Structure 1
């Protein structure tokens, strides 16, 4: 079978040899992605010398802003996802070839189904016609979401929630939820039992700040949804897969085709339980770019599995969907 077919089977069935697939994908990207090849050569690692997925060089996330990290010519890419921007105006670009987009569709659908039941999906996010380069908007449209967005979004959501008779999944940025709560003041909505809430994080920025504990308390107070039915999504435009956590303090969990290392920012070695470090993700669904990405996000391993996200590294610029929502 070809590499894309093997990756698709791995994601659809949550089986397969991660190490072997990662090394094959690394060899493909090394051969066809010139900026990444130069980076790997500078690190002294090639497909001939790498023997384990942890030896694959993780490209810094900032490289997606400075280089075209694509294995096919840009003109042959059918989709380009951008980050939501930063306060400096820089955006990352994730180029999707046709094969990469097909794999991305498989990943986002399988990853979502891995964590959540099939319920009607409401999105407090801009739709793709408003945000054509947003991977999150693309994901939600693919999952069949009804988008509630715009100048009248608070009134529209108020009307929609008041008429709900069956459970749904309500998905939005942290700031979108905060803005709705501010716009509706002290109105409460008793959502149907079994309703789920998913927020995308990003609690700190240039508008009103709110901590996760306070936001989840508002979910219970204003929506009648217990913290156990509240989830957080962690993703990046540079990644084709997503992490999810449950409740206020739940660890971020990945699907089987996505692995993470937490690295000491000084030594570059793997941290131990309780020691914070920089997150590096290895995503088999990243076919056309690079599978290994060194982020600017800090995290620490959770004793129950997964990791706890600790925000941006000191000096990292503000970015992401919360900036877009703001």
Structure 2
């Protein structure tokens, strides 16, 4: 079963379906938490012959259980940031090489080789936020870019702006990736006109500013930074893959990841394209944890490739997901 590398050679939806069903059977046998969840749903593995039949584990289980499908000890534990006093998610990663291949291949799939970019991050550095899968990815992309201007700039906007201007003058392709509140600080305090820079937000006001809808956020960033489109990265502690939006909050997944939409009134039923509901994610890079996760996010599939992320469930609206907590 552990032919992990063939996950990254998936090319077609048929390949993904075939591999996902293999991974389901593997995780049912090897992941005690997931198996118990499936058994509580009375889901016979022999009946799981399509993606629609696969049970999706509520994401909250990463806060309360060790969700793991491997006998190998974890190499790293990624943790969610969380607010003070709240329970954080823990993702026990037994093979960091899979995560690295996933985010490197995913980035290349959408943007080409990172070596062509300078990567400037408006994110905490790894020392400030140990255990963040996003920071781990950003650190790796910064190192792989091999550009002397690449680095973390969260606490030094003046240096960031000076470097951005130099890179722009040289015509250097640049990726500016950051949390929403830091990008807003930049857009409001400096007048920039970025022509060779991709601006990518990773979400997150974290109480630093009022939450705002994506269209409002993106309009402010476009105006302040002088770019036509704002890109977005959609990832989370519990996943080892990321979806990307190149504009308008419309996301696409790499070939080994897929978003399905569940009925908010019936967590075990999936909705057709164009209908809004809860986001279920297949992430085959999660081979050693759980590849089938019911998130607390809302969205709708526009077609077989593209998904609009609409926000999060109000806690009072989460039905079905919490019914099976054991």
Task: Supply the distance in 1 between the matched residues of 2:274 and 2:314 (Cα, whole angstroms).
Answer: 19
What are the equivalent positions in structure 2 for 1:162-241 lying under 5 Å apart?
A: 162-164=165-167, 165=170, 166-182=172-188, 185=189, 187-191=190-194, 193-202=195-204, 205=207, 207-227=209-229, 230-241=230-241
* Residue equivalent to 2:152: 148
* Residue equivalent to 1:254: 253
Give the SS at the match of 2:232.
Answer: strand
Q: Check conservation: 2:10, 2:255, Cα contact below 8 A.
A: no
* Residue equivalent to 1:112: 107
Q: Check conservation: 2:177, 2:199, Cα contact below 8 A.
A: yes
Give the SS at the match of 2:209.
Answer: coil
Task: Supply the distance in 1 between the matched residues of 2:128 and 2:65 (Cα, whole angstroms).
Answer: 26
Task: Supply the distance in 2 between the matched residues of 1:316 and 1:310 (Cα, whole angstroms).
Answer: 17
Q: Report the count of equivalent residues.
A: 303
What are the equivalent positions in structure 2 for 1:1-326 lying under 5 Å apart?
A: 3-5=1-3, 7-12=4-9, 14=11, 17-72=15-70, 76-86=73-83, 88-98=85-95, 101-117=96-112, 118=114, 119-144=117-142, 146-150=150-154, 152-164=155-167, 165=170, 166-182=172-188, 185=189, 187-191=190-194, 193-202=195-204, 205=207, 207-227=209-229, 230-247=230-247, 249-268=248-267, 269-302=269-302, 305-315=305-315
Higher relative contact order (CA 8 A, sep 6+): 1
RMSD (CA atoms): 2.4
What are the Cα deviations for residues 4-57 of structure 1, in whole angstroms up to 9, with x where unaligned?
A: 33x423314635722222122222222222121111111122433322233221
Q: Check conservation: 1:123, 1:148, Cα contact below 8 A.
A: yes
Q: TM-score, normalised by structure 1?
A: 0.84
Task: Supply the distance in 2 between the matched residues of 1:278 and 1:13 (Cα, whole angstroms).
Answer: 25
Give the SS at the match of 1:143.
Answer: helix
Do the aligned partners of residues 211 and 263 (structure 1) sit closer, same or farther apart at CA in structure 2, a change above 3 Å counting? closer
What are the Cα deviations for residues 237-265 of structure 1, in whole angstroms up to 9, with x where unaligned?
A: 11111111122x24211111111210111
What are the Cα deviations for residues 162-217 of structure 1, in whole angstroms up to 9, with x where unaligned?
A: 322222011011111012234xx2x32233x3321111124684524444334333
Residue 267 of structure 1 deviates from its aligned partner by 2.3
Q: TM-score, normalised by structure 2?
A: 0.84
